[in-house]
Chains A and B, each alone.
Chain A
Amino acid sequence: MPPDPILEVKGLRVELSTRSGTVPVLDDLSFSIDAGETLAFVGESGCGKSMTALAVMGLVPHPIGRIASGSIRLAGEDLTRVPEKRMRAVRGNDVSMIFQEPMTALNPVYTAGEQIAESLRRHQDMGRRAAWEHAIEMLAAVGIPDPRGRASAYPHQMSGGQRQRVMIAMALACRPKVLIADEPTTALDVTVQAQIFELLKDLRRETGTALILITHDMGVVAEMAERMIVMYAGRKVEDGMVTDVIAEPKHPYTRGLISCVPHLAEVLTEERPDLTEVPGVVPPLTQFGRDMCLFSSRCPLADDKCWEERPPERRFGAGHVAACWHAEEVS
C-alpha cells in the first residue's frame, strides 16, 4: 500500500461574498500530494490557484471569504477545523509559503537574519543565539555569499534574487512538510530563476518537503513538477502526470495553455505560424459556480450539453483526470 499523502484536500469549497452575492472561488476541489513530490498548479489569473494556497495556509481573507465545505488534511489533521491558535503553530512551521514579490513579503524594518530567526524562536523553541546561528546556516544553504554578513542586511540592501533566497530560507527554516511557492520567480530574471529552481530542487531532495508550485509558465511546470493540476474559474479541469498532460492534454483549456505560448523549440525553423489563441477571457466571478462548463464561452468544442451541465471528472489512464464532455476529441 502506498503511504498516506502528506496533504489531502477533499471537496474544498471556498466562497467569497461579493456585491452580487456569494460565489464559489474554489468549487469542489480535491487533490493530494505525497512527501517529496512537486505538484504544479497552472491557469490564468483569477482561476483559483492562489486561493488554493491561501486556503491551505488558513489565510482565506476574512470576513469576505470562508471555507464553506470540504477538508484540508495535513498528516491526518483537518486544518479547516482547528482553532486559529493551532493554525498559527502550523503556519510557517508545517506549511510555509514563498510569495511572488519578495520585496513586499519581507519586513523592511528587520534584517534578513532576524526574520528567519523569528520563525525558529516561535516554532522551534530555539533561544535567541541558537536561532540566529541557524538563520545563518539557512542563508548559507540557499546560496547567499557571506551569510554571516548578509544576515545583518535589510531587504532593501539586497537584489531581487537575494531577497527571494531569503524568503526561501525563511520558509524552509522549520523544515515544513509542505512548501507552497506562489509564482516564486515571476519577478526575477531568467538566469536568476534558473538558480532559484536549482536551489528548490536540491532542498526538496535533502528535506523531503512536498512542493506546491503555482505558476503560469508551462515550461516551468515541465521542468520542475511531477504532477500538475489545471485550474479554470475555480474548478479543477485537469489533473495528471506532467509528461502525460503535456503530451496528451484531455481538456481544451490545457491544450490552449500549452499551444498559445511561443516556446523555444530544440531547433528553430523559418516557419512561424500564428499562435493558437484561446479567445476571450476568464468569465466574471458572478458566473462561477453555475451548472455548466465554465470554459464553454471560449471553447472550440462546446455544444449545448457544455452550456447546460457541469462535466464530471473522468479518468484517462493512471491518475489522469479531466472534466470535459469532449475529452476524447481534444488530443
Chain B
Amino acid sequence: MTPPLLSVKDLTVRFKVRGAAPFREAAYLTAVDGVTFDVARGESLGIVGESGSGKSTTALAIARLITHHSGEVRLDGEDLLALKGGDLRRARRKFQFIFQDPYSSLNPRRRAAEIVTEPLASIGLVPKGDRRKLVDDLFEAVGLRPEQQNLFPHQFSGGQRQRIGIARALAPNPALVICDEAVSALDVAVQAQILNLLRRLQRERGLTYLFISHDLGVVQHMCDRIAVMYMGKIVEFADRLSLFNSPLHPYTCALLSAVPSVDPDRRARTKRILITGEPPSPTSPPPGCRFASRCPVAEPRCKTEPPPLREVREGHRVACHLVGDDARAPV
C-alpha cells in the first residue's frame, strides 16, 4: 500500500478564552479535539459539520495558519507541525489554500496576474522570466481570458475572483489543496461552474483535496471519503456511498435528514429527525458523548462515557455507544 499523502494524528487546537489571573486558571476552548485521519494521494476528503464543529479550524491548523496545541500532521512524510521559518515556507508550496470569500481573500491593490504569481515570488520557486508563461497557463486552466491578467479584483465577478483564487493556489504546483467553503459564497449557477472546474483540475493534475463544507449536497458530489465533525470531534468517517446511503451516527442521520431535497422520492422516504436544543457550551463540554444532550436515543452511559471512534464496517468508523457490531443505525 502506498503511504497516504496527508496523515493527521491526534490533532488538537485550543483557544484561550480567558487569561490566567491570580487565583484563577486560564480557560480554554478546545476547538479540535484529537482528530485523526489520512488522505490518500489523488482523493478528495470531505469534512462536514455545522458552524463551530471545528472543521475550518482543522484545515487552518493543518495549513499552519493557526497554532495547534498538540498532534502530528505529516505531508508526504514530513511533519508540518515541526517546521519553522524557511523550511515551513518551502514546504508551503506543497499545500495551498482556497478561501471562502473571494472578495476579502484577494489584495484589492494588485492586478490579477500579480496575485497569482505572489506565492511563486515569496517562495522563489520559478525564475522571473518563466512566470509569464506559467500565468498564461494558469489563467487558461481556470477559464480566464489572457487580457484579464491586468485587471484588479473589483473588476471581476465573484465567480471569476474565485477562479483567480484557484489559479493562485495552483501556481506553486501543490500536491494538496485545502478548499475551505470554496463555493459557499457563490450563486448556485456559478457554484456549478467552480465545482466542475475543481473536478477537472483534479483529474488533469492529480490533485488531492481536503474539502471543507457545510453543504452536504456539494460534499457528496466532490468527495470520495467524508468525516463528520461535531464539537471538535470526528463522530463518523466513511466513504461516500457508505456515509450517505447508510449513515450510522444519530447526528449524521439527523444532519442528512435535515437537507431539503428536490427529489420527491427522497422527501417521501426520509423521516426527518428533528434535533432540538442547542449544542452545549464548547468551553465546558460534557464528559460523555458531546451529542448526548440533543440525541434522540441517548442512554445514561452516553452522558458519562465518551464513545471511541471505532471501525464497524470496512472503512466505516463511528463514535457512538449504540451502534453495535451489526453496524445498524440506532435511529
Which A residues contact B (CB, under 8 angstroms)?
Answer: 44-45, 145, 159-162, 189-191, 193-195, 197-198, 216-224, 243, 246, 256-258, 260-270, 272, 274-279, 281
Contact = CB atoms under 8 A, between A and B. Distances in A.
Closest 5 CB pairs of A and B: A219-B260, A262-B221, A260-B192, A189-B50, A194-B258
Contact of A257 (B189, B221, B222): B189
A219 B50 CA distance: 18
Interface in B244-269: 244-245, 254-267, 269
A189 B259 contact: no
Interface stretch (B3-11, B98-106, B193-201, B301-309): B193-201
Contact of B241 (A216, A257, A268): A268
B187 A266 contact: no
B218 A193 contact: no
B192 A45 contact: no
Contact of A275 (B196, B244, B269, B275): B196
Contact of A191 (B240, B262, B275): B275
B159 interface: yes
A218 B263 CA distance: 10
Contacts of A270: 241
Interface centre among A44, A161, A189, A193 (most CB of B within 10 A): A189
Nearest to B195: A275
Contacts of B193: 277, 279
Contacts of A266: 263, 265-266, 269-270
B188 interface: yes
B273 to A, nearest CB: 9
A46 B292 CA distance: 43
A233 to B, nearest CB: 13
Interface string B38-69: 00000000000011000000000000000000
Contacts of A194: 257-258, 272, 274
A223 B267 CA distance: 8
Nearest to B244: A268
B199 A274 contact: yes
A303 B196 CA distance: 26
Contacts of A217: 188, 260
B191 interface: yes
Given A264-B220, A278-B189, A281-B159, 5 more contacts: A189-B51, A195-B274, A217-B188, A268-B245, A276-B192
Nearest to A272: B221
